[in-house]
């Protein structure tokens, strides 16, 4: 018999959670659990909603994530917190250097096996046994070490003593403050389906909260590893229509027509798993154009291409989201054109701050008019980004009229 309980979701609504006889949540209850995990992570890691959504989407899609940006922006802490919240998962973390050896990642060579003329490693506590892995400064290791990761991240297989062993890796998160150099690393770079440029905190309020807070601690066991597997299975079963596939082909042509580097066929195929995961997390029954927003983080290869890719992708989402993207782009372009000189920056800040307030009001109105939760979530993310981008402008506007915030 199914048991029923009530939980509080991140939208502060009471949602029914259906438990199977073995206690594993499914359907709406399982999505509610993921929503609770998202809310817990967002409550601790301020201004990281985009990266958190990406990590959860990649986890459900069983894909990999690359976090780019300066050291000290919480990349390893976020990944560690994600794993710690999944009951039954094993976490492997390592700082890569040019001196990193195979023993550090894959375990020492078995002496007893050597006596039997076998070259076999003992992977206890190492990468081949991890469900979630984090490799910091991932490009620092030599190319031989990095290329040895290819079959693990792509095929979930590890070659030991001449045989292929299945590994339980659900998601690999890489972090670096630089892009890989050399063609020999391009194959591994392509295995990171989602890529994010993680920036320092922009809001003074978030920064002050960071200074006053203790080390982030999340409740353990918000979801279980079995529930991760259940979510993966449910997402994989969501339909993707021929019409949506044709729009993906259209998007591919438009990106190529803009002169931007073309993603590989394998990458486009993997994007389908992202779209299904995005739809599942949103509680939708099928993949639609509403879910294309996640592709903005999967189709660029150089950070300088992010803005152009995002603009192209936004034209394929629902009309309200596309309109919201235009409003957001207009205000960020206005901020980017502000004078660099401090006196002129202060002088123009009140005007830009007022325009920003109008833009936020438009975005909130669009969010209220959206017809799906996916669209509302996408516009909500744009509002959060706009508030952060406008925070320095508002501080400058307050200073320009002699006020302290």
Do 35 and 167 lie in a common domain?
Answer: yes
Condensed to tens digits (0 to 9), the pLDDT of residues 304-321 reads: 999 999 989 988 876 778
Asked whether residue 384 is assigned to any structural domain, the reply reads yes
Reported pTM:
0.76
Rounded CA-CA distance 207/89 in Å is 31
Q: Which helix (H) or strand (E) holds 5?
A: strand 3-8
Where residue 108 sits, what CATH number does that domain have? 3.40.50.300
Residue 356: give its domain's CATH number: 1.20.58
Asked whether 178 and 365 are in contact (CB, 8 A), the reply is no
At 68 the pLDDT is: 93
Cα 19 to the center of its chain, rounded Å: 28
Overall domain count for the chain: 3
pLDDT in tens, 65-94: 999 988 888 888 898 888 888 999 999 999
Q: What is the domain extent for residue 271?
A: 239-305
What per-residue confidence (pLDDT) applies to 24?
A: 61
Please tell me whether residues 205 and 84 are part of one structural domain. Answer: yes
What's the helix, strand, coil split of the chain in %, to 5? 55, 15, 30
Q: Tell how far CA 129 is from the center of its chain.
A: 23
232, 255, 279 - which closes a domain: 232
* Mean pLDDT calculated for residue range 373-400: 88
């Amino acid at each position: 018999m199914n048991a029923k309980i009530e939980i509080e979701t991140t939208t502060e609504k009471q949602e029914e959670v259906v438990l199977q006889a073995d206690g594993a949540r499914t359907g709406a209850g399982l999505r509610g659990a993921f929503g609770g995990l998202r809310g817990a992570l967002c409550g601790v890691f301020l201004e990281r909603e985009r990266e958190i959504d990406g990590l959860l989407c990649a986890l459900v899609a069983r894909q990999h994530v690359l976090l780019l940006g300066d050291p000290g922006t919480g990349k390893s802490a976020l990944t560690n917190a994600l794993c710690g919240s999944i009951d039954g998962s094993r976490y492997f973390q390592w700082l890569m250097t040019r001196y990193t050896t195979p023993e550090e990642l894959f375990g020492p060579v078995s002496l007893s096996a050597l006596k039997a003329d076998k070259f076999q490693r003992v992977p206890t506590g190492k990468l081949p046994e991890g469900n979630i892995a984090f490799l910091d400064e991932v490009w620092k290791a030599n190319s031989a070490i990095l290329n040895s990761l290819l079959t693990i991240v792509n095929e979930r297989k590890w070659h030991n003593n001449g045989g292929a062993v299945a590994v339980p890796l659900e998601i690999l998160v890489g972090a670096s403050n630089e892009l890989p150099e050399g063609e020999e690393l391009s194959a591994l770079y392509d295995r990171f389906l989602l890529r994010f440029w993680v920036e320092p905190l922009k809001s003074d309020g978030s920064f002050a909260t960071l200074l006053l807070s203790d080390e982030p601690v999340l409740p353990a066991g918000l979801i279980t590893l079995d529930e991760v597997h259940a979510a993966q299975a449910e997402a994989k079963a969501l339909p993707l229509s021929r019409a949506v596939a044709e729009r993906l082909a259209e998007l591919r042509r438009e990106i190529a027509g803009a002169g931007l580097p073309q993603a590989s066929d394998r990458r486009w195929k993997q994007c389908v798993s992202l779209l299904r995961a995005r739809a599942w997390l949103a509680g939708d029954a099928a993949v639609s154009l509403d879910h294309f927003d996640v592709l903005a983080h999967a189709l660029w290869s150089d950070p300088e291409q992010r803005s152009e890719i995002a603009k192209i992708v936004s034209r394929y989402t629902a009309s309200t989201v596309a309109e919201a993207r235009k409003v957001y782009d207009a205000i960020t372009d206005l901020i980017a054109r502000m004078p660099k000189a401090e006196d002129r920056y202060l002088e123009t800040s009140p005007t830009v701050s007022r325009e920003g307030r109008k833009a936020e009001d438009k975005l909130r109105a669009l969010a209220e008019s959206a017809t799906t939760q996916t669209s509302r979530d996408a516009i909500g993310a744009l509002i959060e980004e706009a508030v952060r981008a406008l925070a320095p402008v508002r501080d400058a506007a307050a200073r320009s009229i002699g006020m302290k915030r």
